[in-house]
């Protein structure tokens, strides 16, 4: 009997200890333990724990008597702020594929859409639809200059009138009121290519009054790069707002090495007081529509007018001459084999084939002239997108290492397995951290993460995202620094990277040990609410 009483008393003691511990412990939704924290500032990594409640980081350090609903053991792993991709076109298909898994699997927790002059309009309608469907990563938007111009002027090849400028300014203001973070231009594309600098300055001035910034796909990235960079900087100077040069590069062999001069121009502008930055993807090939090598004048009025010009022998010859020039000296990389079909809906068998192979398949030698004829046929029959091998690795590394250049993908929301897209859609961030940080030492790990987090956050004006810090939203990526690498290749682009184990969006686990959650935890971010 005495023995039984002792056992009862002992059990009661342990029960009371448990109750006392539960009552005195702090409870968190998620605890990340024992990781090497890269806080996003560029400072040295440090070992610690992170405590998350209600979507935000509430404590950083080693705490006793804590309970986590979920616990992630990050021993031997890097814990960093979720990556902020400043240059995406993710909004184009995010309503169809709201998980946007190809970004989450890279560690991206916030995407900026509406780049290169093209965006949803009105932004409020898109936001409403996206919030209704949900989204995997957070999404912020720019208003596109090309989109605004097309609303007012269509695709006409002319200078805007004063009345048209006033109407475009109104639409820019409406978009900023809807939550746009700034305005983008695609001055290489239609109809933005038809605008002058004065037009862009007047629209950018509206953005400046609203505290936004200007992101530009410049007028030229090959021959004409220096003048285009001057124009971008001058727009920032005249409109009095920050300038971000999109996917900075030097296109075509004759321009390789010119990044020395453009980066110097950025430094001098910053010394003058103009806040100029840039973004870049870590590849030696670009990707855009097949008409990028067509002369701009030929695209005025849209597809119908282009077909009419192609049917006219004299105009067709002028178009062909322009394409040949672009193949030899610009985006074409000097030869037809440098242009690869990424997506051609009229004949999916062409996806992954280069222009030389397609030209040869038609019984023609793959000269620039013959390739131009074939390309005109492809566009006439429906068009599509291509990959253009026209960049130099030395420029890629030089631009990457500049302190004011952030990492970005220039990618889109991808349907897994569809077409032959640029591998940047799957591999941008792991490629930088694996190839260029760990294997080649182009930049340090802490610096790379700064360029993926606090640097873009500062341009967007985020006050509580982009850093591992108390009271910040818990957008976090956890990866193995020894294993992280991109797997997507030119031949097999539909491959997720290795080494990224957990991705947390607004405090909830979106990627769990490499596997996608069934829930959508992202938010649509608005400029005036951030």
d(CA 161, CA 411): 34
Q: Are 243 and 216 in contact (CB under 8 A)?
A: yes
Q: Which two tokens stand for residue 520?
A: 């959508």
Mean pLDDT, the chain, whole residue set = 95
**What pLDDT digit, counting tens, does each position of 62-79 carry?**
988 899 999 999 999 999
The whole-number pLDDT of residue 20 equals 44
Q: Which two tokens stand for residue 213?
A: 């910034």
Does the pLDDT at position 171 exceed 50?
yes
Q: Is 139 helix (H, G, I), strand (E, B) or coil?
A: strand
324 and 434 both lie in a single domain: no
128 and 90 both lie in a single domain: yes
250 and 357 both lie in a single domain: no
**What pLDDT digit, counting tens, does each position of 236-277 carry?**
999 999 999 999 999 999 999 999 999 999 999 999 999 999
| Torsion from C-alpha of 332, 214, 100, 77, nearest 10 degrees | 100
**What pLDDT digit, counting tens, does each position of 445-461 carry?**
999 999 999 999 999 99
SS3 per-residue string spanning 220-281: CCCCCHHHHHHHHHHHHHHHCCCEEECCCCCCCHHHCCCHHHHHHHHHHHHHHCCCEEEEEC
Bridge partner list, 458: none
d(CA 459, CA 451): 11
Residue 76 in domain: no
Determine the structural domain holding residue 295 and report its residue range: 288-389
**What pLDDT digit, counting tens, does each position of 340-379 carry?**
999 999 999 999 999 999 999 999 999 999 999 999 999 9
Does the pLDDT at position 3 exceed 60?
no
385 and 417 both lie in a single domain: no
The whole-number pLDDT of residue 224 equals 97
335 and 434 both lie in a single domain: no
Residue 23 pLDDT grade (very low, low, confident, very high; cuts 50, 70, 90):
very low
- Residue finishing a domain among 372, 389, 406: 389
d(CA 109, CA 521): 10
349 and 404 both lie in a single domain: no
The whole-number pLDDT of residue 529 equals 84
Q: What percent of the chain has pLDDT over 70?
A: 95
104 and 128 both lie in a single domain: yes
Phi (first) and psi of residue 332, to 5 degrees = -70, -5
Between 20 and 113, residue with greater pLDDT: 113
**Cα dihedral sign for 472, 114, 396, 232?**
negative
The CATH number covering residue 210 comes to 3.20.20.140
**What pLDDT digit, counting tens, does each position of 184-240 carry?**
999 999 999 999 999 999 999 999 999 999 999 999 999 999 999 999 999 999 999
Vertex 70: Cα angle to 69 and 71 (nearest 5) = 125
Does the pLDDT at position 124 exceed 80?
yes
Residue 430 in domain: yes
The whole-number pLDDT of residue 530 equals 72
492 and 519 both lie in a single domain: yes
292 and 321 both lie in a single domain: yes
Q: What percent of the chain has pLDDT over 90?
A: 94
Strands 385-389 and 339-343, by their bridges, are antiparallel
Does the pLDDT at position 526 exceed 70?
yes
d(CA 428, CA 176): 29
419 and 457 both lie in a single domain: yes
- Residue finishing a domain among 361, 389, 417: 389
Residue 123 in domain: yes
Q: Are 480 and 410 in contact (CB under 8 A)?
A: no
241 and 220 both lie in a single domain: yes
Residue 14 in domain: no
Residue 502 in domain: yes
Task: State the DSSP H helix or E strand holding residue 30, giving kind and residue range, or none if neither.
Answer: strand 26-37
Q: Is 127 helix (H, G, I), strand (E, B) or coil?
A: helix
104 and 177 both lie in a single domain: yes
Does the pLDDT at position 17 exceed 60?
no
* First and final C-alpha spacing in the chain: 68
Residue 457 in domain: yes
Q: Which two tokens stand for residue 28?
A: 């968190």
Between 283 and 529, residue with greater pLDDT: 283
Does the pLDDT at position 19 exceed 90?
no
Does the pLDDT at position 468 exceed 70?
yes
d(CA 214, CA 203): 10
Residue 2 in domain: no
Residue 509 pLDDT grade (very low, low, confident, very high; cuts 50, 70, 90):
very high
Task: State the DSSP H helix or E strand holding residue 285, giving kind and residue range, or none if neither.
Answer: strand 285-289
Residue 25 in domain: no
d(CA 173, CA 483): 46
The number of distinct structural domains making up the chain is 2
Cβ-based neighbours of 62, under 8 Å, separated by 6 or more: 48, 49
d(CA 244, CA 439): 29
Q: Are 171 and 203 in contact (CB under 8 A)?
A: no
Does the pLDDT at position 18 exceed 80?
no
Phi (first) and psi of residue 58, to 5 degrees = -110, -20
d(CA 395, CA 14): 66
Supply the pTM of this predicted model. Answer: 0.94
d(CA 460, CA 164): 29
Residue 528 pLDDT grade (very low, low, confident, very high; cuts 50, 70, 90):
confident
Does the pLDDT at position 16 exceed 80?
no
- Residue finishing a domain among 326, 356, 389: 389
Q: Are 222 and 255 in contact (CB under 8 A)?
A: yes
Does the pLDDT at position 330 exceed 70?
yes
Instruction: Using CB atoms within 10 Å of the CB of residue 411, give its burial: 0 to 12 exposed, 13 to 18 middle, 19+ buried.
Output: buried
Neighbouring C-beta atoms of residue 96, cutoff 10 Å: 9
């Amino acid at each position: 009997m005495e023995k039984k009483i002792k056992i009862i008393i002992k059990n009661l003691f342990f029960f009371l200890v448990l109750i006392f511990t539960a009552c005195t412990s702090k409870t968190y939704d998620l605890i990340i333990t024992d990781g090497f924290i890269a806080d996003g500032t560029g400072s040295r990594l440090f070992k610690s724990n992170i405590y998350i409640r209600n979507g935000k980081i509430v404590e950083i350090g080693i705490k006793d008597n804590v309970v986590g609903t979920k616990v992630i053991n990050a021993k031997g792993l890097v814990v960093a702020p979720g990556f902020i991709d400043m240059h995406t076109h993710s909004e184009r298909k995010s309503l169809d594929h709201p998980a946007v898994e190809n970004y989450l699997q890279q560690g991206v927790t916030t995407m900026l859409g509406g780049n290169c002059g093209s965006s949803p309009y009105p932004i409020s309608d898109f936001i409403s639809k996206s919030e209704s469907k949900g989204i995997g990563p957070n999404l912020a938007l720019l208003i596109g200059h090309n989109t605004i111009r097309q609303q007012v002027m269509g695709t006409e090849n002319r200078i805007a009138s004063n009345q048209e400028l006033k109407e475009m300014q109104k639409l820019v203001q409406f978009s900023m009121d809807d939550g746009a973070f700034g305005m983008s231009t695609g001055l290489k594309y239609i109809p933005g290519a038809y605008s002058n600098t004065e037009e862009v300055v007047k629209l950018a001035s509206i953005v400046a009054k609203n505290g936004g910034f200007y992101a530009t796909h410049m007028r030229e990235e090959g021959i004409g790069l220096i003048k285009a960079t001057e124009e971008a900087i001058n727009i920032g100077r005249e409109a009095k707002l920050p300038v971000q040069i999109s996917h900075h590069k030097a296109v075509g062999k004759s321009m390789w090495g010119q990044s020395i001069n453009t980066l110097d121009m950025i430094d001098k502008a910053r010394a003058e007081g103009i806040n100029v930055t840039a973004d870049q993807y870590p590849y030696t090939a670009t990707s855009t529509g097949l008409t990028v090598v067509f002369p701009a004048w030929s695209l005025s009025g849209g597809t119908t007018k282009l077909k009419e010009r192609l049917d006219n022998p004299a105009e067709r010859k002028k178009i062909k001459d322009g394409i040949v020039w672009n193949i030899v000296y610009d985006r074409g990389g000097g030869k037809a084999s440098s242009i690869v079909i990424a997506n051609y809906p009229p004949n999916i068998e062409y996806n992954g084939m280069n222009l030389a192979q397609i030209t040869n398949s038609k019984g023609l030698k793959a000269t620039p002239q013959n390739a131009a004829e074939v390309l005109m046929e492809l566009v006439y029959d429906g068009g599509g997108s291509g990959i253009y091998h026209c960049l130099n690795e030395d420029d890629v590394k030089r631009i990457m290492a500049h302190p004011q250049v952030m990492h970005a993908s220039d990618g889109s929301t991808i349907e897994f397995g569809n077409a032959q897209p640029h591998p940047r859609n799957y591999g941008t961030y792991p490629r930088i951290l694996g190839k260029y940080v760990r294997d080649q030492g182009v930049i340090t790990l802490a610096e790379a993460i700064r360029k993926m987090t606090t640097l873009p956050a500062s341009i967007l004006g985020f006050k509580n995202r982009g850093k591992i810090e108390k009271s910040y939203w818990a957008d976090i990526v956890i990866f193995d620094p020894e294993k992280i690498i991109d797997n997507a290749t030119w031949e097999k682009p539909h491959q997720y990277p290795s080494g990224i184990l957990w991705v947390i969006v607004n405090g909830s686990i979106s990627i769990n040990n490499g596997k996608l959650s069934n829930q959508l935890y992202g938010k649509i971010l608005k400029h005036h609410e951030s």
